[in-house]
Copies of this chain bind each other. A is one copy, B any other.
Amino acid sequence: MPESSPLLDAVTFDDDGLVPAIVQDAETDRVLMMAHMTAETLRETLDTGRMVYWSRSRQERWVKGASSGHTQAVEEMRLDCDGDTLLFKVHQEGGACHKGYQSCFYRREENGTLVITEEKVFDPDEVYGG
């Protein structure tokens, strides 16, 4: 994809050059995670069909699954009405969450506290080298 395109022009990046990307499982429609992209990692994501983010904490490009093998293959991308939020449907290998869960949203609010609603699908110590 070239530097500019009708799609990229329609995306509004914030003051840090980032746009949030919501990630939904293409098979189950479960929301797996949210992360951020730069124009460059968005372009790379669309070009390669693999989710590539910008890590705000590490301030570096982040190919999802590079260390864990838990890659995300893009099925579709949508843009919201204001152009400032992306929504992807992906085919997720393994679990999306670095804590070992299928989804980062593994905790549900119940009476003002948080309850873990599911089992881990992988052992993060094993996958990330503990």
- Chain A positions within 8 Å of B, measured between CB atoms, are 1, 5-7, 10, 20, 22, 24, 28-31, 33-34, 46, 76-82, 85, 87, 97-99, 101, 104-109, 112-114
B29 touches A22 (CB 8 A): no
Cβ–Cβ < 8 Å partners of A98 in chain B: 81
From A7, A79, A98, A109, name the one whose CB has the most chain B CB atoms within 10 angstroms.
A109
Cβ–Cβ < 8 Å partners of A5 in chain B: 112-113
Cβ–Cβ < 8 Å partners of A77 in chain B: 108-109
Cβ–Cβ < 8 Å partners of A24 in chain B: 31
Q: Which of B78, B105, B113 contacts A109 (CB 8 A)?
A: B78
